[in-house]
Amino acid sequence: MAHDPSLQPTCYGLRSVHTLIAIMNRICFRFIPFVLAFAFTFTFPGLAHASLPQSSSVPGGIAIVPLGSALTGDNKPQAWFGDQPVLITFDHNQWYAVVGLSLDMTPGPHELRVNVGGETKALGFLVKPKNYLQQHLTLKDKSKVQLSAADEARADREITIIHSLEHHWRAAQDTDLAFIIPAKGRLAGRFGLRRFFNGEPRSPHAGLDVAIAAGTPVKASARGRVLAVDDYFFNGKTIFVDHGNGLITMYCHLERIDVQTGEAVSKGQLLGLSGQTGRATGPHLHWSVVLNGVMVDPELFISAKHLHQGSISND
């Protein structure tokens, strides 16, 4: 009987089908992470391009504490440092707690209280010691150093108000951590300097001083909402901008204020003009950054390209 090729099993056809299936499986598995990332971005709009500040786990710095994969659940984690809520963001599909560390924090082990996927637990991190430089300043107006009873009472009231503003918390879907520089100029006073006014020790410098002429435009570091404006004994004319989730910027010694409390501001928007109001040895901008209730080093929010040779640039 003649051999009928049509009766032979189609081994080559089956092999081709199996090969095609294997190729499709490999393609699908390769693209699953991208699909999940896209789905996560859609679920949490506005978080896709979060930018972490520099990590510096020292007094006055920032601890970046990983909390797990951003693809493991639908709920955003929560964290507290003591009683203060902590800013949560993500980068490269990982959740992170961005923790501000006070200048007077004791170096050593510390803990966050975190809630991930409905489970609350303690998460430890280490704070390393850091020694800051000293700065000696001379003020011709001795009334700013040796305060009268009335000025001391005023300063105490204002410190209480400022402390309350620093602990303000406004929940926001996301927070822009990619700061721009409020003004371009020479760095005249770095964060953490142990200051002496007319030979007398005072609180460490809790901000970054930019030496600029009076009347220089001062801009918002990131989008936010004006939390408060006022004229303080030490800080002079001052603006607080709330960026959400415990991140606040403060602009001091201004000559003019161009915004109002409650006003929404965009990144780079004009806030006012620099000056020499309050306790200041000359015209400059004092810029502070508050994170979960404490002052932290503003330079940690600035990209390296904007810091060079002791100057600061917003180009």
DSSP string, 162-219: HHHHHT-----S--------SS-EEEEE-TT-EEEETTEE-----SEEEE--TT-EEE
What is the domain-level CATH number for residue 119? 2.60.40.1590
Q: Of 84, 100, 127, which residue is a domain's last?
A: 127
Domain that holds residue 228: 134-312
Residue 48 CA to residue 117 CA, distance in Å, equals 20
Q: Distance between CA atoms of 82 and 87, rounded to whole angstroms? A: 13
Residue 310: CB partners within 8 Å, gap ≥ 6? 186, 187
127, 145, 165 - which closes a domain: 127
- 180 and 293 co-located in one domain: yes
Q: Are 126 and 135 in contact (CB under 8 A)?
A: no
Question: What is the pLDDT at residue 252?
Answer: 98
The CA distance from 169 to 262, in Å, is 14
225 three-class SS: strand
Cα 84 to chain centroid, rounded: 15
Q: Which residue has the higher pLDDT, 145 or 73?
A: 145
Q: What's the confidence (pLDDT) of residue 193? A: 85
Residue 309 pLDDT more than 70? no
Please indicate, yes or no, whether residues 103 and 193 belong to a single structural domain of this protein. no
Half-sphere exposure of 111 (CA within 13 A, CB side): 7
pLDDT digits (tens, 9 = 90+) for 163-209: 999 999 999 988 999 999 999 999 888 898 877 766 666 678 899 99
Task: Encode pLDDT of 38-52 as tens digits.
Answer: 333 334 444 444 589
Q: Is 112 found in the same domain as 192? A: no
Task: Provide the pairing of β-strand 311-312 with 87-91.
Answer: unpaired
pTM over 0.85: no
Shortest CA distance to 184 belongs to which of 143, 218, 157? 218
Rg (CA), the chain: 27
Among 112, 100, 111, 107, which Cα is nearest to 54's? 100
198: domain CATH number is 2.70.70.10
Four-CA torsion 237, 289, 163, 124, nearest 10 degrees:
180
Same domain, 123 and 151: no
| 174 vs 225 pLDDT, higher one | 225
Clarify whether residues 231 and 277 are in a common domain. yes
Domains of the chain: total: 2
